[in-house]
A and B are shown apart, each in its own frame.
Chain A
Amino acid sequence: MNSTQTQNRIELTKVSKSFTLPSGSFQALKEVNLTIPSSQLVAITGKSGSGKSTLLNMIAGIDKPTDGHVVINGVQVEKLTESALATWRGKNIGVVFQFFQLLPTLTILENVMLPMDFCNSYPKSARRERALSLLELVNIREQADKLPSTLSGGQQQRAAIARALANDPPILIADEPTGNLDSQTATSIFEVFASLTKSGKTVIIVTHEKDFSAYFENVIAIADGAILN
């Protein structure tokens, strides 16, 4: 294991998560232990309600465990304050959503520049060039000045990936990123993810798509809040 792999390793130790609802308590994760080394394309699979999105939220710092620890790149995530977490997330985790979630009133280029603005991660003068190069990477540079609503689903998802890469985070997580795309477009998106792992990124994807299993180096199956494999 080289030093980058150690640095960007994701470690979950006895992570449990329960929710209190008016109807009673519900346990979404049960003492999950998980280690994901860096530079891998990892799939999390499972049925609806199995806990896979909750697991992803734990890794992204979107939600905090009721019990246990989430350590990423040596940082104990659940101990960070909301404000520190936002900045940490912005720099360390890139998130891609099923429905793309681009801000509708910003152009594609501005959407990609926005994380750099929030995290103040690149010099102002360099942000535009970096955003354009990321759009180049996902093959939609010519769409840079358009609003998201004028782009196809596939193009929007590529833009969302470019946005997730804006601050050059070592980890990318994606919640069913191809769930809303046709198979041809989905293939092209998986190819982008695969290429990212080659440049040292860790990519974790929640997916139902069995057709793309060849892309994954590691598949984590989850059921009733527990990891099966």
Chain B
Amino acid sequence: MPTRFYKVFRDLTSDSSKSLMLVLSIALGVFGIGTILGSYSVVQREVKDNYMNTVPASATIEVDSAISKEVVDSIKSISGIAEAERHASVVARMKVGEKWYPLLLFVIDDFENKKTNKYNLLSGVANPTEGSMLVERTAYGMMQAKEGDELLIKTANGNPKKVKLTGTVHDAGLAPAWQEQAGYGYISLTTLQVLGETQGFDQLRVLVSEQTESETHIQECAQKAASLLKSKGYEVREIQVPPPGKHPHQGQMTTVMRIFIVFSFLILILGSILVATSISTLIVKQIRQIGIMKTIGATSQQIAGLYFLMILLVSIVALLMAIPLSRLAASAFTNQLAVLLNLEIRNASIPNWVLLLQTLAGILIPFAITSLPIIRGSRISVKSALDNTGVNLNLLHKSRWVIRISQLSFLSEVARLSIRNVFRQRARLLMTLGLLAAGGAMFMTAMNVAEAWNENLKLIYVQRLYDLEVRLNEPIDVDSIVAKLKRLKGVARVEAWNYTSTSFSKDAEFEVTRTYPDKGHGSFSLQAVPIGTKVLNPSVVEGSWLQSPLAREVVLNQSSRGYLKIGDSVKLAIDGKPTTWKVIGFTMDVGSPALAYVSLDAFVEVAKLSKKSNLLRIGYLDRSKESAYAKNKEVESLLEKENAGINTTIPVWLLHNAIAAHMKVLVNSLLAMALLMALVGTLGLMSTMSMNILERTREIGMMRAIGATPTTINKLIIFEGMLIGALSLIIAFVFSLALSSYMGIKIGHLAFRTPLSLTISIAGVAIWISIILLGSFIATWFPAKRANRITTREALAYE
């Protein structure tokens, strides 16, 4: 081994705590990248695999009456259609404890030979008998039940009935039940009839034979099938074509993971900047050694090679440390995501490209970032290296503005000197400020986003002045019911609305939506609102809210507005028929799917309804969750007594919980990353300050020789650290605003379908100021103590 390599090893091992810090700085980023990318690669593959294994229907066609087997057979003969199957889905309610929750019932035609949207039977019977039900595995928690138990279920037209839970399935096409705050069950048509419903299989699921990922081709095939259904006398209500081959949460997952990937690379970059500052420290410390090595024959390339070898060794140790740990963490994170996405991980192997990318990133990023100080340090001339005093006198001489600022009359001598010292090493100052500002910006961003998240969750209550939504089976005359509800103690407001699923009418014969089989993801509804509503406080962002009872005007929310503008005319399908409306406003709704608001009176006229309402919205005086529990129960029993025909009830707290459950993991993970940033930032400040003090050892000795006390030296150094910290705070704050805004848009769209408002977390700013001030103090206190420990004679003799 070349003799010079001994120097590299000894330099690394002579200050093992510093070397460990270098290793950790890189290892943190490599660990983050490995964990996130490892998990991302597995989950991405497994989501697709799980979802495609269910053989998701290319399209679902909803009609007005039961579809016969003969019709299914004739649909199968249409060219381009590979498979067709009858199906029905019903939204019922289940009683858990004293509360009613939504229960989505999937009515299966042939349990033994299911062709589309298959599930995986985990236990129990494959073919549930009359009065029994299979349950999606994630729904047991919501049901507070287990296989073999009985569950009280009420459908829209039936009385509450107990159904036995006889089997458990995994349905990878559904989001976890706890996330949707609903139950999932699979029953036969006879069981549905036992539950009091008379409907048959009113949905037709089809699989296309080719171009299975082409939305256009699927729509064309579905239109052909719908035409055939129409020719057989069926009224086609809607064609649902969810994004082909995409799990309902795939888009969310990809966005979330991309945010994490960016964060983990940023941690590696910050860690590498920290390594660069540490290498700068080492070069400053060894500048005379560099001069000596050059004197005895070393070239600049050989010198640079020594420090690059050092970085390589540090990176290798960091990789050896981080890779196995990151694989363990990736496995744990994958399991967490699998729970969030209701996945079954069949193959947990992390692809080799992750290891390759992790290794390349762990070596190349630190190399690239440290190359600047290394190349600059190694190219120093022999004379400069041997004469080095560590201070760029010329630069300070040119910085007249620094001199002028430091001459402000209210500043003490110590403060003046500190200000000038801060600007002596510009490149290093920039690097430190960059490190601290990036750490601070990301920390404050995470805190801001977390707070904006909570603020937005609160908006759910601000925009909804009701606490319970009751969906009825069909429009009824609700005047007397409304009057009775209003008389209930604690009820503040009651309004009767109407709602229906809708779509933008196109030139095609039948309306196409992007709704998934769970009825929630991708859905688009029309809500008919009484003019002057007191239960909705819409956030109108453009145009105006509904004013005229009979005007054919519509207000669209952010999920439905697309490229429409105020004054545009839109065709909305009501019961499959196109109706024309003029766009007068746009709203930002928190936690709503795509919605179109129209006047209730105009809607009744357009839809030719004799009875007005199928939706009740009830607001309470006390809006707390605890009070709402009790009130909801009272309202539901009153409605049952009045035979109102309840389809579903959705308490607002349930909606709040469902949205909170969707993204809590992301917000918490962001905060965890923010803490890592804070750690890396503070280490960076400590490294820089110790470097600043180290190279001024002689100067400090000189100051002591001319009478500076240890207290003065302490003040000088600590004030300098604080000043750097304070400068970084300003930059960090500005960057955090831009970053918070960007992250708020991304996360807000994922969770609420609206950007999170830019919120400044006072706590976040306060914590970061404290971290920086405390960190600056600690980072400077130790070097100050060290500087004072050296005797004046030693300091003056310092080489």
Residues of A in contact with B (beta carbons under 8 Å apart) = 22, 57, 60, 62-63, 82-83, 86-87, 89-91, 95, 97, 99, 101, 103, 105-106, 110, 113-119, 127, 163-164, 166-167
Tell me whether B383 and A89 are in contact (CB under 8 A): no
Say yes or no: is B424 at the interface (Cβ < 8 Å to chain A): no
Task: State the majority secondary structure of interface residues on A.
Answer: helix
Is B299 interfacial (CB-CB < 8 Å)?
Answer: yes
| Chain A: CB-nearest residue to B13 | A105
Q: Decide: B294 and A97 in contact? CB cutoff 8 A.
A: no
Alpha-carbon distance between A87 and B302 when the two chains are bound, in angstroms:
11
Query: Quick check: is B347 within 8 A (CB to CB) of the other chain?
Result: no
Residues of A within 8 A of B4 (CB): 114, 117-118
**Cα–Cα distance between A116 and B11 once the two chains are bound (Å):** 20
- List A contacts of B397 (CB < 8 A): 22
Give B570 Cβ to nearest chain A Cβ, in Å. 73
Residues of B contacting A60 in the complex (Cβ-Cβ under 8 angstroms): 295
Q: Are B296 and A163 in contact (CB under 8 A)?
A: yes
Among B3, B295, B379, B381, the residue within 8 A (CB) of A110 is B3
- Residues facing A in B505-542 (CB within 8 A) are none
A87:B292 contact, CB within 8 angstroms: no
Q: Which residues of B contact A (CB under 8 A)?
A: 2-4, 6-7, 10-11, 14, 288-289, 292-302, 379, 381-383, 386, 393-394, 397, 799
A95 and B297 CA atoms in complex are apart in Å by 10
Q: A63-B383, A105-B6 are in contact. List 8 more A-B contacts (CB 8 A).
A: A22-B394, A22-B397, A89-B297, A97-B292, A99-B799, A118-B299, A118-B302, A167-B297
In the complex, what distance in Å separates the CA atom of A114 from the CA atom of B299?
13
Contacts known (A62-B383, A62-B386, A166-B296); A114 close to B14, Cβ less than 8 A: no
Q: Which 3 A-B pairs have the closest CB atoms?
A: A90-B297, A105-B10, A115-B296
Complexed CA–CA distance, A114 and B2 (Å): 8
Q: Which of these, B295, B300, B302, contacts A82 with CB under 8 Å? A: B300
Closest CB in chain A relative to B402 CB, distance in Å: 15
Is A86's CB under 8 angstroms from B298's CB? Answer: yes
Say what secondary structure dominates the interface of chain B: helix
14 A-B residue contacts at CB 8 Å? A22-B397, A63-B381, A63-B382, A63-B383, A82-B379, A82-B381, A86-B297, A89-B297, A95-B295, A103-B7, A105-B6, A114-B7, A114-B296, A119-B297
Contacts of B386 in A (CB 8 A): 62
Distance in angstroms between the alpha carbons of A86 and B292 in the assembled complex = 11
Q: Would you call B7 and A105 a contact (CB within 8 A)?
A: yes
Beta-carbon nearest neighbor of A60 in chain B = B295
B15 smallest CB distance to A (angstroms)? 10
Q: Kindly state the separation between the CA atoms of A22 and B397 in the bound complex, as whole angstroms.
A: 7
- Closest chain-B Cβ to A162's Cβ sits at a distance in Å of 12
Chain A contacts of B297 at CB under 8 A? 86-87, 89-91, 115, 118-119, 167
Interface centre among B11, B296, B299, B397 (most CB of A within 10 A): B296
A62 x B382 contact (CB < 8 A): yes
Cα A106 to Cα B210 with chains together (Å) = 72
Closest chain B residue, CB of each to CB of A117: B3
- Judge whether A86 and B294 touch: CB under 8 Å: yes
CA distance A186 to B120 in the complex (A): 91
Q: Given the interface contacts A22-B393, A83-B301, does A62 sit within 8 Å of B295 by beta carbon? A: yes
Q: CB within 8 A of A105: which of B11, B382, B393?
A: B11
Cross-chain contact A127 with B3 (CB below 8 angstroms): yes
Residues of B within 8 A of A91 (CB): 297
A60 to B295 Cα, complex, angstroms = 8
